Each structure stands twice: as C-alpha cells, then as structure tokens.
Amino acid sequence: MRIVYSGTLKTSHIPFLVKVVPGEGSGELLALQESVRSALQEPASLQPLSEEEFDHILAGNGLILGVYVEGRLVGARAVLFPAIDEHHLGYDVGIPRSEWSKVVYQEISLVSENVRGNGLQKLLGQLIMEELKSRRDEFDYVCCTVAPYNIPSLKDKFNQGLAIGSLKQKYGGNWRYIFIKNLKEEVEILPPFKKVAMKEFKEQQDLLEAGWMGVSLTKDHREWKLTFGKKKNV
C-alpha cells in the first residue's frame, strides 16, 4: 500500500499512517462503515456504500484513502470516477455534458468513534483533494451530495472549498444539497450575501436557480442557516 501521510494522534500520541486502500480492502471498509453508522444519532444521515460499490471504486474507478492505527483501519475517504449517465451530478449543477468526463465525486467519509477529535476527517479531505489536484489533466470538477442537517458533512465540504450549486430530491426522493468545486479556476462569489434558514428549501432553490451559491453555514439563535452569494458575471 502506498503511504500518503504519517502522523501522531493528538489525543493518544499513537502513530498513524494514511495509505491508499488496496483492491481487496472492501471487507474492512464495510466493517468500519457499520461501526460508524451504528454510533450515529441519526444513522439515516449516512448514505452507506455496498460491498459492490466499494469493490467498484477499488477496481480502478476511484480512490480510497485509509487511516491505519496499529494496522487497523479507523478512517477512510473515497472518491469515485462516475459513469456518464442521466443521474450524473454535472447535470444538477450546470456543468456542460461535454465536461462530465472530467468530474469526480466525493463519496463516503468515515472516522471511527474511537479516534474522533484528531482532525482526521479534515486531514483526509485535504489529502484526497491534493491527490485530485495532482491529476489536473484528468479532472476539472469535484461534486458530491449531502443531506440537509448533516451538519458535520456540510461543514466538511465548506472547509474544503466546495459550494452548494443545487438542492434537489435524489436517491428515492430524499433532499440533497449538490456541492461543486472547480479545480482549475476559483469561482468568485460577490456580496451582498443572504442568510437563509436551512428549513426554507423553496427560498434556497430560488436563489440557486438565479445563480447564487451556498458558501457557508452558521448557527443563529439555535437555527442553522446557510449563507448564499452570487457568482461573478451572473
């Protein structure tokens, strides 16, 4: 396995390694996913991957980075090189179909309860984005979906510089924010900015359809709100 990074857990001072998960790694990924899912207050907020989906990514259709402590997988982050079909996220966020082959999806992010508080999700996000940027000739965009009120995942995406480009019902009618990041050029977001309560889906959709993007998340008087700004030249 190729080592991408080495470090020490802040909470226990135990060394860890970040490696590219090997092709036969779906079993340990499934075990990690189940342990993470069972520890969630709302397990439905995590869209799990099947063994077949993990195998598909590991077979060269994506990349998975894993955090290993004493040889055991305790964290993972995946990206998928998606098929070009009618479900492609490029359609949802306005990427021309001719460029869909240059889109990569951020898939699942997993960190074991035992090692939380060490910044591993953020680290994995940084490392996997660096891996993608090293392949600039292959990929121009990163896209992903996040459920409303999945606050840790929403914060994670904003921290990586992704922005909300759409809000739609996906995966059997479930509401999802569709995030996008252009790897080749920074999208400039201009003031004025508008804060919208997360529960106000219609107002958010109207802004997104008018060319605004969701760029940050705050809590205001116990209510989560998204901040929207307008793309330059829109």
Query: Which pLDDT belongs to residue 228?
Result: 97
Report how far Cα 41 is from the mean position of its chain's Cα atoms. 20
Q: What is the CATH number of domain 3-137?
A: 3.40.630.30
- In the numeric block, the tokens 């802004």 are attached to 207
- Distance, in Å, from the CA atom of 161 to the CA atom of 142, rounded to the nearest integer, reads 10
Edge-to-edge strand list for the sheet holding 72-80: 3-8, 15-20, 62-69, 72-80, 103-111, 141-146, 174-182, 163-170, 212-220, 223-231, 189-197
pLDDT at residue 177 in the model:
97
Question: Residue 39 to residues 1, 15, 26, 44, 110: CA-CA distances in angstroms?
Answer: 29, 24, 20, 12, 11
Look at residue 196 in the predicted model and tell me its pLDDT: 97
Quote the longest CA-to-CA distance of the chain: 51
Closest alpha carbon to 72 in 121, 115, 131, 13: 115
Around 144, how many Cα atoms within 13 Å sit in the side-chain half-sphere?
A: 24
Q: How far apart are the first and last CA of the chain?
A: 45
Give me the pLDDT at residue 133, please. 78
pLDDT at 131 (0 to 100): 86
Return the pLDDT at 234. Answer: 55
Q: Of 125, 20, 17, 27, whose CA–CA distance to 63 is shortest?
A: 20
- For tokens 């008018």, the residue is 210
- Angle ∠(21,10,45) on CA atoms, nearest 5: 55
pLDDT of residue 98: 95
Domain with CATH 3.40.630.30 in the chain: 3-137
Mark 81-96 as b/e (b = at least 16 C-beta within 10 Å).
bbeeeeebbbbbbebe
Q: What is the pLDDT of residue 99?
A: 95
Q: What is the pLDDT of residue 181?
A: 94
The tens-digit pLDDT sequence of the chain (234 residues) is 799 999 999 999 999 999 999 999 999 999 999 999 888 777 666 778 999 999 999 999 999 999 999 999 999 999 999 999 989 999 999 999 999 999 999 999 999 999 999 999 999 999 998 888 777 678 899 999 998 988 988 999 999 899 999 999 987 788 999 999 998 888 888 889 999 999 999 999 999 999 999 999 999 888 999 999 998 765
Neighbours of 217 (CB within 10 A): 17
